[in-house]
Every structure is written in structure tokens, then in C-alpha cells.
Amino acid sequence: MWMVVHTKTHQEKKAELNLINQGFKTYLPSFNHKKYIKSDWVTKKEVLFKSYIFVKYTDSMNFLPISNTKGVIKLLLNRSTGSPYFLSDSLIHIIRSRSMNLNSNNINNLQRGSKVYISNIGKDFIDGVFLEKSSSTRAKVLIYFLNHTRQTYVDIDTLYTRSPL
């Protein structure tokens, strides 16, 4: 079982570090996200649930230090029972596996005919169909552009298997 902790804005990592230093086992779901900054693609690590972190529950646990930790606003409690909100281990496992899938943009998993999105201009993207890997950094795709179907080569880093938005 995992408890939900509400953190201060943009202080999830600070709260995680402080909770770990107190001996708590934590989980801060995150994923790699590409952002177009100053005409260049930059990969940044983003927090999946902004202002929230999960703490592993144990029977002998003292909850009081959690709410008094730097970076933490409070441990989320059920008002009627006064006990923390719990998430099952299986739900955390699902979150872990899905956040890992968000990180994977593995071109080797694509097969001819797979639907892809090509994005290299901010938040705009183009639908495409993967045809083949042409080199270690490029791929051949089929796109529909200006009322015509065209084959083109794109950087592998610009391909997504789901919408990047």
C-alpha cells in the first residue's frame, strides 16, 4: 500500500529527497519529455503528477514527520476516518509501467505500417506511417502533406508512437 502526499509546487524532488533522508520509501513518477527551446530540442525529465508523491506504507510507520517535511504540504487524509488515502501496490505497478512506456521511443519496436507522429516544430505534429529505419539516426516515413502522399526521411528523435501532446 502507498500513501499520497501533496507537495509544494515544483518541490516534488525536494520533498522526495527529504522523505528518503528520513527513511521513507518513496515513488515520484516521471518521464522524459522533449521541449522545443530556442530552436533546439531539449530532453527534460518531467513529473507525471505535479505536486504529488507516493510513500510506501508500513504497519509501524509514524505519519507525523511526513506533513512536517520540507517541500511537503500534507499527507492526504480521509476526512471521515482520519486515515491516509491508500493506493494498492498493483496500481503503483501500473503507473510505473506506463511511465516507462512514456520514456520509450524505441525505433526498433516499430514495424512497417506502424502509425507514428512526427514532431520537430514545437507542439505541432504530422501523422505518418513508419516504413523503415534507414540509418542509426534516420527513418523513412510516409506522410500526407498538402493533399499528396509523400515518402520522406526524418530524424528518429522526432518520431513518436503516440501523440506527443
Contact 84, 63 (CB under 8 A): yes
Alpha carbon of residue 95 to chain centroid? 9
Size (the chain), residues: 165
What class does CATH assign to 107-160?
mainly beta
Phi, psi of 93 (to 5 degrees): -60, -40
pLDDT the model gives residue 132: 87
- pLDDT tens digits, 52-73: 999 999 888 888 899 899 999 9
Phi, psi of 90 (to 5 degrees): -65, -35
Q: What is the pTM of this model?
A: 0.63
Which stretch of DSSP H or E encloses residue 55?
A: strand 52-56
pLDDT the model gives residue 112: 87
pLDDT the model gives residue 141: 92
The low-confidence residues of the chain, meaning pLDDT below 70, are 33-37, 39-41, 100-108, 120-124, 162-165
Domain ranges of the chain: 2-103, 107-160
How far apart (Å, rounded) are the C-alpha atoms in residues 120 and 160? 11
129 contacts: CB under 8 Å, gap ≥ 6: 113, 114, 115, 116, 141, 142, 143
pLDDT the model gives residue 165: 47
The neighbour count for residue 70, using CB atoms within 10 Å, is: 12
Superfamily of the domain at 2-103: NusG, N-terminal domain (3.30.70.940)
- List the alpha helices (DSSP H) in 35-149: 64-67, 89-103
